[in-house]
Amino acid sequence: MPRPDDGMSKPARMQGRSLVDCIRAQYRSDNEDAARLQNSFSTVLSGQDILAIYDRPKAMFAIREGIAIRYRETKDGMRHILAFLLPGDVCNPNPYAVRSFDHVVSAITDVVVEQIPLSQIQTLFANDGAGQTVLWEHVEMEHAGMLARIATLECHDARQRVVQILGDLTCRSLGDRRDRTSLRLPLTQTHLGDAAGLTAVHVNRVLRMLRLQGLIETQRGSVIVLNPDMFCRLAHQPQAIETIAIS
């Protein structure tokens, strides 16, 4: 579980507005329930869980820095990554969940998380539900990403699956900043394999082909995207990778 940052009320580097600020922005400045929303920040180290299976969280968690994954594990121990969570993404956007958590949200880098007590959110929404639109937007965006991933798994080969994942993460990491000549994604071959439904052998072969095409470099625990703009385009048309010649 997250550990509080000693003596730190806010993380040193903030990626956009906090979740509290996004929710408050849906209300008039004199709304007392919105003004009472309180957030805190804590650090989760790489490899640790933010939310574990069967948890019943009493706070809503949002990623502020770093990358986390949402995954399920099968009975035979295989992990299936359902989504990558980047700064601004909400780990548990349903403030009214009645069942215990049925999957895991885990940090793959050191992560700073924002926490808001669910009781405060529920009180606010009971009197005025305007802020729920913020959470619904998060749900719909992640749902759309999952549908795109499923379609890629069913319709595309190994290279196209990996390219779609790298392209999606590149687009979401950059946002509107498209002036980057390269981008480091802290992904291992295991992460890519668990997200794309591929073995380590397949992932290794795909990454080698992408290196030969001059599209990526690999370092221990990372993939360096050398042409972020191209990968953003490939996120929506992964089959276009077949038209790029090996340099």
End of a domain among 124, 148, 172? Answer: 148
| Same domain, yes or no: 189 and 221 | yes
CA pseudo-torsion sign 179, 181, 186, 188: positive
CA pseudo-torsion sign 56, 62, 64, 70: positive
Instruction: Give the range of the structural domain holding residue 74, as residue numbers without chain letter.
Output: 3-148
Inter-residue contact 210 to 161 (CB < 8 Å): no
| Same domain, yes or no: 144 and 214 | no
For the segment 145-165, what is each residue's pLDDT rounded down to a tens digit?
A: 888 777 777 677 888 899 999
Number of other CB atoms surrounding residue 2 within 10 Å: 22
For the segment 12-61, what is each residue's pLDDT rounded down to a tens digit?
A: 333 478 999 999 999 999 999 999 999 999 999 999 999 999 999 999 99
The C-alpha atoms of residue 187 and residue 53 are separated, in whole angstroms, by 23
- Portion of the chain with pLDDT greater than 70, in percent: 89
Number of domain units in the chain: 2
| Same domain, yes or no: 18 and 134 | yes
Name the more confident of 234 and 20: 20
| Same domain, yes or no: 88 and 116 | yes
* pLDDT band with cut points at 50, 70 and 90 for residue 75: confident
End of a domain among 148, 172, 197? Answer: 148
- The CATH number given to whatever domain includes residue 228 is 1.10.10.10
End of a domain among 132, 148, 164? Answer: 148
Is the pLDDT confidence value at 144 over 70? yes
pLDDT at 245: 54
| Same domain, yes or no: 166 and 77 | no
